[in-house]
């Protein structure tokens, strides 16, 4: 670990994005030994993170998957669309290999579990700062969606409105709305477009 840390520059600037203040404080302490002059900014929402990025440049962003105003993957995708070149690693309480793969597919350079101890955390952050992409764990998880939800998802990906989806499946439009609500919750999204996008990232489409 010492050798890896010595390979880092003496001055680094990190942005930590998480909605739990106490976790941000602990994370800042855990990362303090990374280099002699470590500048850490914190943001507790997607909006605050966006504001920080507009004010200064960072060497790395550590981003939580679940923020109060926007899912982390949607925020990451927005940054990608804006041409943001700052490396991003996801730091999440989720231990889902599907979430990890979705994060990498969305452009993250790594997926670091919050269950990591301080040494593991610094090791992972150092590897990303040195330009390495952390591989996702092997997936052994079953598909989290039911067969009916998969049918709706595929029709959603074709751009069909709720009424047309219901007609094809022989159910009411209200039933489709109920299934969509469950789909959005399962994939942690808020829009039809994001639902299809995240499903593709997870290999469900």
Average pLDDT of the residues in 28-36: 93
For position 141, what pLDDT does the model report?
57
- pTM for the whole structure: 0.67
For position 106, what pLDDT does the model report?
84
Share of the chain above pLDDT 70, in %: 93
- The yes/no answer on whether domain 2-129 falls in CATH 3.40.50.2300 is yes
Domain ranges of the chain: 2-129, 147-201
For position 105, what pLDDT does the model report?
83
For position 4, what pLDDT does the model report?
47
Of the given ranges (55-64, 157-166, 195-204), which has the lowest mean pLDDT? 195-204
For position 5, what pLDDT does the model report?
46
pLDDT higher than threshold 80 for residue 1: no
For position 139, what pLDDT does the model report?
54
**Distance (Å) of CA 178 to CA 6, 124, 151:** 54, 40, 14
Query: For residues 89 and 132, is the Cβ–Cβ distance under 8 A?
Result: no
Please write the tens of the pLDDT for every residue from 71-130: 898 999 899 888 888 999 998 887 777 788 888 888 899 999 888 899 999 999 999 998
Mean pLDDT, the chain, as a whole number?
88
Please write the tens of the pLDDT for every residue from 122-161: 999 999 998 888 876 655 556 678 888 889 999 999 999 9
- Which CATH number applies to 147-201: 1.10.10.10, 3.40.50.720, 3.40.50.360, 1.10.287.130? 1.10.10.10
**144 or 188, higher pLDDT:** 188
- Between strands 88-92 and 111-113, the pairing is parallel
Average pLDDT of the residues in 61-68: 93
Band (164; pLDDT cuts 50, 70, 90): very high
């Amino acid at each position: 670990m010492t050798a890896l840390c010595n390979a880092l520059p003496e001055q680094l600037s990190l942005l930590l994005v998480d909605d739990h203040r106490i976790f941000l404080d602990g994370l800042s302490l855990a990362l303090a030994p990374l280099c002699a002059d470590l500048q850490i900014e914190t943001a507790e929402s997607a909006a605050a993170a966006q504001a920080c990025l507009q004010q200064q440049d960072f060497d790395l962003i550590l981003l939580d998957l679940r923020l109060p105003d926007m899912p982390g993957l949607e925020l990451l995708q927005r940054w990608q669309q804006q041409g943001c070149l700052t490396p991003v690693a996801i730091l999440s309480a989720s231990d889902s290999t599907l979430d990890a793969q979705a994060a990498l597919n969305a452009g993250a350079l790594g997926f670091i579990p919050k269950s990591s101890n301080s040494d593991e955390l610094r090791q992972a952050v150092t590897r990303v700062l040195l330009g390495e992409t952390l591989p996702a764990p092997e997936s052994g998880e079953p598909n989290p969606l039911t067969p009916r939800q998969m049918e709706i998802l595929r029709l959603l990906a074709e751009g069909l409105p709720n009424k047309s989806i219901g007609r094809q499946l022989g159910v009411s439009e209200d039933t489709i709305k109920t299934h969509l609500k469950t789909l959005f919750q399962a994939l942690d999204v808020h829009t039809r477009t994001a639902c299809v996008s995240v499903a593709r990232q997870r290999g469900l489409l």
